[in-house]
Structure 1
Amino acid sequence: MPLLGPPPQLGDLIEFSRPLYQHWGIYVGDGYVVHLTDQEGWSSVSSAVGGFAVVRKDRLDRVANGCTYRVNNKFDQKRSPFPPEKVVRAALDLVGETMAYSVTSANCEHFVTELRYGAGISEQVENAVLYTAVGGGLLAAALATFAFVTTRNKRQNQ
């Protein structure tokens, strides 16, 4: 199981690197994480289709499923995290609950940041919106340039 960095402590955010996205959980001790996921407990991607996900407590190595993972309490410098015991208790109290799931507003990263900081934040969503906007802008500029050059060439050939 490829852990990058220091071992997790109670209440830590755990980031699992998946192809094309990251999955998130809260470390609750004894090798377990609580996470918002599909029924099988490996991913939240299939939850996007149904609009619902389940809060599960699973072995960290089972959730990693061979992927790398790391402690990533990325907002600790910007926000005060709740005490670890409070984070763990809140996470464990939700195990078994079915929750609404939305890639853009209620995903696994929103779930864990809400538990740790009291605010559901997802940089994956913010980054995807930014990359889409930049990519769309670049595409629009390229199309406008192509249209301009094509029109100019047609006029010159007439």
Structure 2
Amino acid sequence: MAPTLFDHGAKPGDLIEIFRGTYEHWAVYIGGNEVVHLIPPSDDSSPFGSLLMLLDSSRVQVRRQKIWEVVGGHRFEINNLLDHKYEPRDRHVIVREACRTVSSAQPYNAVTHNCEHFVTEIRYGKSESRQPGQVVQSRFTQDHVIDMLCVLNLLFLYLRGDQFDF
């Protein structure tokens, strides 16, 4: 059963992992049933929309919202994933840093600067993400990934309307 408004158990400074099917979204819990997170660059949750998001670097905004607005109907859990590797900052420092970023524009790239990078930087002072590596390790060899990215880049350029000759 999914946690309810009154029993999610998060403490200020905890990382919240939200399972959205093909990817996980991340937020920092700041107390008062609120989180700070990156607004994804696309609301298109289709596989093709997610693929375009992966290929297109852009800027996003940091938003402060009620946890339930961000989680919606998805499953989520508290996941302070790097506590075994790094010492987390003090909770009040995590909350202060998260709140300082609200309304700021941030770079976004699903591989190099995604929402998991954002929250781990705030909690640990180290920007890390397991998601890009997990996709590569679990589904493809390195050669297949390079081939696929080349083809997808051409497809993206074509769909964007770029003109080029072969």
Query: Given the alignment of the two structures, is residue 55 of structure 1 paired with residue 69 of structure 2, yes or no?
Result: no
Query: Structure 1 vs Structure 2: percent identity of aligned residues?
Result: 33
CA distance in 2, matches of 1:29, 1:6: 11
More helix by share: 1
CA distance in 2, matches of 1:98, 1:88: 18
Q: TM-score scaled by structure 1?
A: 0.76
- Going from structure 1 to structure 2, the CA distance change for 1:9 and 1:50 (only over 3 Å counts) comes to same
2:126 maps to which residue? Answer: 119
Contact 2:41 2:59 (8 Å CA) reproduced: no
- In the alignment, structure 2 segments of 5+ residues that lack a partner are 146-166
CA distance in 2, matches of 1:121, 1:133: 22
- The secondary structure found in structure 2 opposite 1:35 is strand
RMSD: 2.9
Query: What is the CA distance between 1:135 and its match in structure 2?
Result: 9.2
- Going from structure 1 to structure 2, the CA distance change for 1:79 and 1:66 (only over 3 Å counts) comes to same
Query: What is the CA distance between 1:125 and its match in structure 2?
Result: 1.2
- In the alignment, structure 1 segments of 5+ residues that lack a partner are 138-158
CA distance in 1, matches of 2:84, 2:64: 27
1:32 maps to which residue? Answer: 34
Q: TM-score scaled by structure 2?
A: 0.72
1:76 maps to which residue? Answer: 83
Number of residue pairs matched by the alignment: 136
- The secondary structure found in structure 2 opposite 1:19 is coil
Please say which structure displays the higher CA radius of gyration: 1
CA distance in 2, matches of 1:65, 1:22: 13
- Going from structure 1 to structure 2, the CA distance change for 1:126 and 1:21 (only over 3 Å counts) comes to same
CA distance in 2, matches of 1:135, 1:3: 41
CA distance in 2, matches of 1:40, 1:21: 13
Contact 1:24 1:109 (8 Å CA) reproduced: yes
- The secondary structure found in structure 2 opposite 1:3 is coil
2:151 maps to which residue? Answer: none
Runs of 4+ in 1 over 6 A off after TM superposition: none
